[in-house]
Amino acid sequence: MEVSELNYRFDFNNLAVNLDEWLTGGDVGFVVDPVFVDDEPSLYKITTDNDSGDDAYLHGNEKFGLVFSINEEGGATVTFEARIRLLSATNVESWFGLINPLITTPVASPPNSTGFFQTGGNWQAVNENGAAESTDTGVAPDTSWHKFTIVWDASDILYYIDDVLKATHSTPANFPLAPIFIEFIVQTEEGASKTMYLDWVTVEVT
């Protein structure tokens, strides 16, 4: 599929996980379900089981992969945004953004990806396409709602948290090498479950 323009938004306010658009997984005991939190209209929660190293993930179904190369599209711009909250900001590891192949555990720089990653420190802006690049955003994980944004074109990848620019990376040549999917993943680093809440996500290609 050739994609030159796309405007995709998903509000996580369904009564059940929409399996036409999303796939779920993780270690035994993981939960991905709609919930109401702090009087917010129905959100999704991604929750691990309670053994250290357990993870849980939600990723876009194949039909919502962005099947294109930024270079072939003559300088198109991709904007990814998501509103996210962690239930606990300690002993938790997480990654989210655009990626392929999909991952089943958080890693700092998975192949063919651009996103945000954290493990016991500040959020890192990361991308990888043969060589990894990572920038400390200076923003520590907490339990408040935050908007994370990635704006990517043929020259640069810009990373924002709550509309404040935190990092700028040069776009790797021929990135992406394969169709790109949305993914959210969380892992516990202690004997207690960890949860990521999702309000909405958008991907716009112009």
Strand-pair partners of 165: 160
Strands (E), 48-178: 55-60, 78-86, 92-99, 113-119, 124-128, 132-136, 146-152, 156-161, 164-170
Model confidence over 109-137: pLDDT tens digits? Answer: 888 899 999 998 999 999 988 788 999 99
Structure confidence by residue, pLDDT tens digits, 69-104: 454 444 478 889 999 999 999 999 999 999 888 888
Tell whether omega for the bond before 176 is within 30 degrees of 0, i.e. cis: yes
DSSP alpha helices (H): ranges in 54-194?
none
- Could you tell me if 59 and 44 are in contact, meaning their C-beta atoms sit under 8 angstroms apart? no
The model scores a pTM over 0.85: yes
**What gap in Å lies between CA 170 and CA 154, rounded to an integer?**
9
Q: Can you tell me which residue has the tokens 């996103």?
A: 115
Taking phi over 0 as left and psi of -120 to 50 as alpha, with beta for the rest, 53 belongs to: left
**Does residue 143 have a pLDDT over 60?**
yes
pLDDT greater than 50 at residue 1: no
Token digits of residue 180:
């790109």
Q: Which domains are delineated in the chain?
A: 6-205 (2.60.120.200)
